[in-house]
């Protein structure tokens, strides 16, 4: 077993995007698509789960099925009694097939850009560009499948797809969300309180859309799991009209229309301003192998590496409040947490330092230099960009986002963002003012969450996060708020900041603040609740 463990690489079905559809979902998707007519396309039929249900719903005469993997296509064809074309779908799907189907039903492959075969990738990206979308190296294979599905159906036709919940929230799908809004009349998202793919942590949703001129009306429906999809037909969830060309995240559509309207207003009326007006948020240190470069104070002392390390925040739990102090660092040291980062400046003569040379030799024996981040460096042990920030910002959030004043000489790994304030900006006032219900609610919309219920904010998203101008924040507020958060009196801290900065400084009405608090709690509880219902 490796001493300095690295992340496992994807393999098998995961590498090629093969997540097979549970029968209740396959049946629901097929029946909903079948209501549009009998000419239905299954663009990635895999082992045939959805294809078999399509045959049961509409017969097999007008079905078209495509599958890239020959063995899977043979299984699907045999079980469904339908010929399956063994071909790359996006190479096969030419302009002559646009608008020729009543519906599309499928579960597109989930393949990250780096694992996507170039012969399949290029036709996919070309299709996206032809529709005005600009794919990047973050684009996943399922995105062009959605674009093709919209193009495939006639006006009024239906698109029924099983997709990763990333559709709702990731940046690389922003243009796709806009595309769906502009080219569909109705979009319904069905999500699940529990994970529905056996043995897989990927959270999925069902995209149910009708082709037509936008902007679409969007509604969301959440059911406990795949066995409760019959509740869809009994649900009368209200729909909210999207804005034409809107690429914002769709998490907000889990709120009622009044809350959506309020959040849109707060984002644009100027009372709050984007964080990047006051500070730059950047990733923490990318070591290439945290298990090697991040050490506990005990290990540093035992190995005599103190001259080659700096203090470190390696996990969000190490920063318990709105400040990180020398006392906090000492308390973390006492727990044997990884609070030291191995930092070797360029030109360090490692061969003349026996303790250091010995530790590096252990890393070499364990394959640390072979990892990509280490391999591309001039010297694998020289970790770049270890600057010390003015503050930190949580990247992965359980209950609420936090800006934290750095009162030490610590830097952080990429599990915690680093914050550098603009000239004249006080980090303590910025951190205190950001602890409010409006910023919290908007963070739930700007960030993204996955099956584990954790909210994640990347640096670009942090920059857009609306916060209070720190010049409007009293200089005593940070200490009071910090003390309350340390005592885990989060609601008291939120009440205090809401009153001082939202109501008194910015003129928010108390009912506005209450509505923002409810929106935040609703989105947060939905997110965290999913982690408890696997």
What tens-digit pLDDT sequence spans the chain (534 residues)?
A: 456 666 555 444 444 445 578 999 999 999 999 999 999 999 999 999 999 999 999 999 999 999 999 999 999 999 999 999 999 999 999 999 999 999 999 999 999 888 888 888 999 999 999 999 999 888 999 999 999 999 999 999 999 999 998 999 888 899 999 999 999 999 999 998 887 776 666 789 999 999 999 999 999 999 988 989 988 877 777 889 999 988 889 999 999 999 999 999 999 999 999 999 999 999 999 999 999 999 999 999 999 999 999 999 999 999 999 999 999 999 999 999 999 999 998 777 777 788 999 999 999 999 999 999 999 999 999 999 999 999 999 999 988 999 999 999 999 999 999 999 999 999 999 999 999 999 999 999 999 887 678 899 999 999 999 999 999 999 999 999 999 999 999 999 999 999 999 999 999 999 999 999 999 999 999 888 865 544
* Domain extent listing, the chain: 21-254, 281-289+309-337+385-530
Interhelix angle for 490-497 vs 477-486, to 10°?
160
DSSP label of 385: -
Instruction: With CA atoms as reference, report the closest residue to 212 among 247, 189, 186.
Output: 186
What's the whole-model pTM score? 0.85
Tokens of 287: 């070591």
> What b/e string do you get for 61-73 counting C-beta neighbours within 10 Å, with b at 16 or more?
eebbbbbbbeebb
How deeply is 118 buried, as exposed, middle or buried, from its count of CB atoms within 10 A (0-12, 13-18, 19+)?
exposed
Rounded to whole angstroms, the Cα distance separating 400 from 410 reads 23
* Residue 434: alpha-carbon gap to chain centroid: 22
What is the homologous superfamily of the domain 21-254 according to CATH? Vaccinia Virus protein VP39 (3.40.50.150)
Q: Which residue has the tokens 């790359």?
A: 88
Contacts of 54 (CB under 8 A, 6+ apart): 30, 33, 34, 40, 42, 60, 63, 80, 105
């Amino acid at each position: 077993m490796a001493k300095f463990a690295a992340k496992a690489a994807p393999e098998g079905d995961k590498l090629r995007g093969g997540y097979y559809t549970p029968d209740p979902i396959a049946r629901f998707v097929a029946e909903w698509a079948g209501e549009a007519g009998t000419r239905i396309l299954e663009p990635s039929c895999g082992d045939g789960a959805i294809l078999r249900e399509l045959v049961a719903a509409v017969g097999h005469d007008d079905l078209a099925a495509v599958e890239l993997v020959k063995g899977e296509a043979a299984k699907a064809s045999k079980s469904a009694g339908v010929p399956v074309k063994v071909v790359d779908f996006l190479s096969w799907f030419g302009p002559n097939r646009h608008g020729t189907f009543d519906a599309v039903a499928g579960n597109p492959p989930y393949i990250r850009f780096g694992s996507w075969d170039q012969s399949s990738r290029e036709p996919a990206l070309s299709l996206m560009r032809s529709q005005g979308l600009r794919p990047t190296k973050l684009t996943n294979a399922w995105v062009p499948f959605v674009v093709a599905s919209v193009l495939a159906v006639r006006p009024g036709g239906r698109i029924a797809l099983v997709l990763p919940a990333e559709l709702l929230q990731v940046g690389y799908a922003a243009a796709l969300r806009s595309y769906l809004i502009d080219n569909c009349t109705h979009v319904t998202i069905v999500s699940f309180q529990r994970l529905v793919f056996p043995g897989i942590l990927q959270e999925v949703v069902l995209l149910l859309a009708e082709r037509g001129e936008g902007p679409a009306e969007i509604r969301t429906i959440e059911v406990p799991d795949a066995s409760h999809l019959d509740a869809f037909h009994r649900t009368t969830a209200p729909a909210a009209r999207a804005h034409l060309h809107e690429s914002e995240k769709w998490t907000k559509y889990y709120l009622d229309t009044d809350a959506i309207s309020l959040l849109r207003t707060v984002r644009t009326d100027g009372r709050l301003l984007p964080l990047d007006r006051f500070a730059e948020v950047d990733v923490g240190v990318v070591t290439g192998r945290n298990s090697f470069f991040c050490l506990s104070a005990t290990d540093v002392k035992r190995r005599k590496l103190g001259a080659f390390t700096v203090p470190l925040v390696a996990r969000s739990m190490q920063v318990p409040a709105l400040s990180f102090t020398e006392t906090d660092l000492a308390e973390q040291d006492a727990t044997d947490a990884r609070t030291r980062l191995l930092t070797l400046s360029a030109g360090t003569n490692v061969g003349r330092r026996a303790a250091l040379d010995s530790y590096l030799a252990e890393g070499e024996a364990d394959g640390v230099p072979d990892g990509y981040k280490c391999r591309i460096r001039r010297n694998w042990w020289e970790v770049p960009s270890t600057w010390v920030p003015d503050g930190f910002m949580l990247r992965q959030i359980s209950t609420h986002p936090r800006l934290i004043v750095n009162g030490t000489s610590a830097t952080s790994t990429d599990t915690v963002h680093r914050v550098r304030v603009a000239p004249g900006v006080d980090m303590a006032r910025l951190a205190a003012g950001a602890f409010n219900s409006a910023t919290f609610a908007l963070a739930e919309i700007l960030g993204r969450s996955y099956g584990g219920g954790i909210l994640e904010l990347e640096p670009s998203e942090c920059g857009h996060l609306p916060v209070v101008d720190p010049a409007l924040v009293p200089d005593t507020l940070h200490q009071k708020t910090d003390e309350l958060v340390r005592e885990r009196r989060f609601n008291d801290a939120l009440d205090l900041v809401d009153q001082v900065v939202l109501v008194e400084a910015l003129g928010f009405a108390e009912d506005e603040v209450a509505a923002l608090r409810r929106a935040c709690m609703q989105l947060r509880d939905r997110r965290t609740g999913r982690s408890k219902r696997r």
